[in-house]
């Protein structure tokens, strides 16, 4: 980590962004630089950490230019040295997805752990994901559940649907499909109550809801409703793909498999033979 002396100031970063606009950089990062300059002019109370905090909305499928990586990483490291959990979480996310130009689950976990010590809710949830999926560590459902439980207590949909998974499959907790369905239904309620806040998690929730309706997991079977939610999930995942979100394609494929399974069941119920 860098020295606590501030190397990056709002004025200094604005000047660097102006210089970047004279260079040949990918369109997404050009818009990030332009919007950053406008934002800082408009909000005089803004902090230098506001520059990298919103870069996720501009990252496409092109590598982060080296000068931008140095700038973003430097600002975030400065924030970490000042005790910012959000800066550590954001830097971890850039390494987790590889958006910074280097994909490293080990570095992501390191920064998530730093952020979690500051009780950053997103970092705790991200750390749970590392334990749940075994990202550069041994899969540990207990540690994952403990992280997700903290998020669920605060109404975080990302944590809630993972806890639903754990009840659905009996991971660390006793298998309870009824409880899993109850939690997923709660996620639907939260999304409906505040769509803008939870829009990122919509497709993940919808595909799980559809799967449970199709199989009758914790509820009555309803393949027609399952098809509706599967289609909603595909729509959401495809939007995420268009925005180059990490692993969105896996979600699209999952939704497409569910749609196919729903149609097969509905065709059988209506006496329609599968096409040759």
Instruction: Please state, rounded to an integer, the average pLDDT across all residues of the chain.
Output: 93
By the 8 A CB rule, do 204 and 161 touch? yes
Mean pLDDT of the 47-52 span: 90
Q: What is the mean pLDDT of residues 64-80?
A: 95
**Per-residue pLDDT, 275:** 60
Structural domain spans, the chain = 1-139
Say which residue, 271 or 163, is predicted with more confidence: 163
The answer, yes or no, to whether residue 270 has pLDDT greater than 90, is no
Residue 137, Cβ density class (10 Å: 0-12 exposed, 13-18 middle, ≥19 buried): middle
Mean pLDDT of 160-175: 97
Quick check: 213 pLDDT over 60?
yes
Angle value at C-alpha 108, between 145 and 14, nearest 5 degrees:
125
pLDDT bin (cut points 50, 70, 90) of residue 181 is very high
Q: Kindly report the three-state secondary structure assignment for every residue of the chain.
A: CCCCCCCCCHHHHHHHHHHHCCCCCCHHHHHHHHHHHHHHHHCCCCCCCHHHHCHHHCCCCCCCCHHHHHHHHHHHHHHHHCCCHHHHHHHHHHHHHCCCCCCCHHHHHHHHHHHHHCCCHHHHHHHHHHHHHCCCCCCCHHHHHHHHHHHHHCCCHHHHHHHHHHHHHCCCCCCCHHHHHHHHHHHHHHHHHCHHHHHHHHHHHHHHHHHHHHHCCCCCCCHHHHHHHHHHHHHHHHHHHHCCCCCHHHHHHHHHHHHHHHHHHHHHHCCCCCCC
- Least confident range from 16-20, 37-41, 209-213, 265-269: namely 37-41
CB 89 within 8 A of CB 115: yes
pTM higher than the cut 0.85: yes
Confidence of residue 1 (pLDDT cuts 50, 70, 90): very low
pLDDT of residue 5: 60
Residue 274 has pLDDT above 80, yes or no: no
| pLDDT of res. 61 | 81
Give the pLDDT of residue 117. 94
Is the pLDDT at 89 greater than 90? The verdict is yes
Q: How confident is the model at residue 204 (pLDDT cuts 50, 70, 90)?
A: very high
What is d(CA 140, CA 17) in angstroms, rounded to the nearest whole number? 42
Q: Write down the pLDDT at residue 2.
A: 41
Q: Are the beta carbons of 56 and 100 closer than 8 angstroms?
A: no
Long-range contact set of residues 264-268: C-beta below 8 Å, sequence gap at least 24: 265/214, 265/223, 266/223, 266/224, 266/227
| pLDDT at residue 23 tops 80 | yes
Architecture of domain 1-139: Alpha Horseshoe (1.25)
Mean pLDDT throughout 80-96?
Answer: 95
Grade residue 260 by pLDDT with cuts at 50, 70 and 90.
very high
**Mean pLDDT across the stretch 113-122?**
94
């Amino acid at each position: 980590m860098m020295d606590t002396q501030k190397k990056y100031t709002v004025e200094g970063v604005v000047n660097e962004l102006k210089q970047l606009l004279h260079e040949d950089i990918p369109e997404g990062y050009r818009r990030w630089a332009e919007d950053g300059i406008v934002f800082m002019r408009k909000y005089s109370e803004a902090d230098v950490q506001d520059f990298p905090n919103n870069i996720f909305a501009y990252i496409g499928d092109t590598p982060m230019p080296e000068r931008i990586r140095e700038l973003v990483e430097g600002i975030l490291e400065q924030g970490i040295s000042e005790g910012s959990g959000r800066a550590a979480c954001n830097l971890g996310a850039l390494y987790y997805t590889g958006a910074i130009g280097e994909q490293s689950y080990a570095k992501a976990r390191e920064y998530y752990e730093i952020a979690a010590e500051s009780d950053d809710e997103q970092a705790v949830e991200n750390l749970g994901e590392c334990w749940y999926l075994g990202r550069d560590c041994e899969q540990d459902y207990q540690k994952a559940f403990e992280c997700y439980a903290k998020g669920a207590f605060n109404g975080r949909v990302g944590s809630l649907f993972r806890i639903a998974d754990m009840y659905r499959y009996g991971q660390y907790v006793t298998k309870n499909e009824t409880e899993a369905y109850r939690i997923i239904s709660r996620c639907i309620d939260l999304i409906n109550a505040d769509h803008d806040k939870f829009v990122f998690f919509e497709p993940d929730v919808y595909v799980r809801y559809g799967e449970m309706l199709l199989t009758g997991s914790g509820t009555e079977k309803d393949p027609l409703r399952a098809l509706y939610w599967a289609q909603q999930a595909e729509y959401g995942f495809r939007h995420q793909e268009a925005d180059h979100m990490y692993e969105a394609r896996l979600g699209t494929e999952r939704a497409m498999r569910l749609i196919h399974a729903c149609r097969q069941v509905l065709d059988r119920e209506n006496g329609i033979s599968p096409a040759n």
